[in-house]
Amino acid sequence: MSERAAPFYCPYCGDEDLRPNEEGHGAWECGACNRAFRLKFLGLLARGLQRADNGGDDRI
């Protein structure tokens, strides 16, 4: 397995000032908005997403 992936920006404020949090794997903190959050990979979807005619994503 490869190294863990790091988020590029905070999901709350959009800033890029992120660092790993002490809470463990997948936990990050944002220096800009002072929030901590956890990211977790849930798995692959059995059915993928397919682009609809209108340009949006629709589940199939």
Average pLDDT of the segment spanning 23-44: 92
DSSP bridge partners of 30: 18
- What local confidence, expressed as pLDDT, does residue 24 receive? 86
The Cα-based distances of 1 to 28, 37, 55 in angstroms read 21, 23, 34
pLDDT digit string, tens, across residues 21-33: 998 889 999 999 9
- What local confidence, expressed as pLDDT, does residue 36 receive? 96
Q: Is the pLDDT of residue 60 over 70?
A: no
pTM confidence score:
0.64
- What local confidence, expressed as pLDDT, does residue 34 receive? 97
Q: Is the pLDDT of residue 4 over 90?
A: no
